[in-house]
């Protein structure tokens, strides 16, 4: 690799389709041994970015170097040095789990001894060892997704691109998924994974938060949370709707969301506002079970960034 510091390096990457800019001057880099997340809602440009990095879509402008090769001038060599799992990864439903793995190992030119060793490790990590002889078409949704991942990982490229691999997968299978990804880092691969589940950002080393083709932030999850200006306070109460009406417009209140068993408030300073809010609730004789500061989430940051930008999100 010419530049060993980076497994992926993109600068001002842009993709325009008629009437829309799907990816808008995106720049970031991914290092070997790192799991980097492309995190954002549908339409944020995640899949388009992945496809450009996989060498299957030519960018309108900007550059991207993947595993040492330029995706614009050398897309074929890029394809040989990566593993790319698209959202519609093709499993053969009428082949068994083992047959699917053997098929992909053949395509990627993996030797049979490597294949057996790797397949058995991956199947075990996925909790799928007992299902080798089951037809892929008979697997549950979560297992199908895991088999797709196993097939994509049966060879050991330096760069792995995974486009929303956990979409529609239940939390138990999702944990298996992440366990497999972490186990690969020992081989110093770089993993770029996209997700629309904002809470999955927490599992990446670094993330790019994307919205409408643009980069909102790129950093570690811990650093991202420090960027939130304000504290989050959770209130648990059976009277959440009445509480909301009471607290609207309170001093220092930046944002208010109704959740299942109460409210989430964003305030300028929790240590100062919690006692004030509590007093206000108690003097109105409304019941509360708990009011306390809680850790902010990536979603809180996302909402703040989008509102600050005044971006159009269909909010009328």
Partner 1 sequence: MLVRDLVKRFGDFVAVDHVSLEARPGEIFGFLGPNGAGKSTTIRILCGLLRPTSGEAMVAGLDVARRPEAVRQKIGYMSQKFSLYNDLKVMENIRFFAGMYSVPEAAMAERADWVLEMAGLRGRESALTGTLATGWKQRLALGCAVLHRPSILFLDEPTSGVDPVSRRQFWELIHRMAADGVTVFVTTHYMDEAEYCGRLVLIYRGKVVASGSPSELKSGATKGELLLIECEPLGRALDALQTAPGVLDAAIFGSAIHVVVPNAKEAITGLTKYLSGHQVTVSKIEPISPTLEDVFVALTTRQAEPGEAKKVL
Q: Whose Cβ is closer to partner 1: residue 71's or residue 212's?
A: 212
Q: What tokens appear for 69 in the block?
A: 């090769």
Q: Does residue 137 bind partner 1 (CB under 8 A)?
A: no
The residue ranges of DSSP E strands in the chain, in sequence order, are 8-17, 20-30, 35-39, 61-66, 69-70, 82-85, 159-163, 190-195, 206-211, 214-219, 231-236, 253-259, 262-267, 290-294
Phi, psi angles (nearest 5°) of residue 229: -95, 100
Considering only residues 90-109, where is the footprint of partner 1 by CB under 8 A?
none
- Choose which of 106, 137, 171, 287 interacts with partner 1 (CB under 8 A): 171
Q: Does residue 303 bind partner 1 (CB under 8 A)?
A: yes
Stretch that binds partner 1, among 80-88, 107-115, 219-227, 277-285 (CB under 8 A): 219-227
Q: Whose Cβ is closer to partner 1: residue 83's or residue 297's?
A: 297
Taking the C-alpha atoms of residue 15 and residue 17, their distance in angstroms, rounded to an integer, is: 7
Q: Whose Cβ is closer to partner 1: residue 141's or residue 275's?
A: 141
- Burial class from Cβ neighbours inside 10 Å (0-12, 13-18, 19+) for residue 275 reads exposed
Considering only residues 25-84, where is the footprint of partner 1 by CB under 8 A?
40-44
Q: Are 184 and 153 in contact (CB under 8 A)?
A: yes
Q: Are 69 and 77 in contact (CB under 8 A)?
A: yes
Q: Whose Cβ is closer to partner 1: residue 3's or residue 261's?
A: 261
Q: What residues line the site for partner 1 (CB under 8 A)?
A: 40-44, 127, 140-142, 167-173, 175-176, 178-179, 182-183, 185-186, 196-199, 201-205, 211, 220-222, 236, 241, 257-262, 289-290, 299, 302-303, 306-307, 312-316
């Amino acid at each position: 690799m010419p530049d060993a510091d980076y497994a992926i390096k993109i600068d001002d990457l842009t993709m325009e389709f008629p009437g829309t800019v799907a990816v808008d001057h995106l720049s970031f880099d991914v290092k070997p041994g790192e799991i980097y997340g492309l995190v954002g809602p549908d339409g944020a440009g995640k899949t388009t970015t992945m496809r450009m990095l996989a060498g299957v879509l030519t960018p309108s402008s900007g550059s991207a170097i993947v595993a040492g090769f330029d995706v614009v001038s050398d897309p074929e060599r890029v394809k040989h040095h990566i593993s790319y799992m698209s959202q519609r990864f093709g499993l053969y439903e009428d082949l068994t789990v083992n047959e699917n793995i053997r098929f992909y190992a053949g395509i990627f030119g993996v030797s049979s001894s490597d294949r057996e060793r790797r397949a058995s490790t991956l199947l075990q990590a996925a909790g799928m060892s007992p299902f080798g002889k089951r037809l892929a078409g008979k697997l549950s949704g979560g297992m199908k997704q895991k088999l797709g991942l196993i097939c994509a990982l049966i060879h050991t490229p330096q760069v792995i691109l995974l486009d929303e691999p956990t979409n529609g997968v239940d939390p138990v299978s999702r944990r298996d998924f992440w366990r497999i990804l972490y186990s690969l880092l020992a081989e110093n691969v770089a993993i770029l994974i996209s997700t629309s589940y904002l809470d999955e950002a927490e599992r990446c080393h670094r993330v790019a938060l994307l919205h409408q083709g643009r980069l909102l932030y790129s950093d570690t999850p811990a650093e991202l949370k420090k960027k939130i200006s304000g504290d989050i306070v959770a209130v648990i109460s059976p009277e959440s709707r009445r509480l909301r009406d009471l607290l609207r417009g309170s001093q220092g209140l930046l944002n208010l969301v109704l959740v299942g068993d109460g409210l989430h408030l964003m305030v300028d300073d929790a240590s100062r506002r919690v006692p004030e809010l509590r007093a206000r609730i108690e003097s109105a004789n409304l019941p509360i079970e708990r009011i306390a500061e809680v850790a902010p989430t990536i979603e809180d940051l996302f909402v703040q960034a989008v509102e600050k930008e005044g971006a159009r999100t269909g909010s009328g």
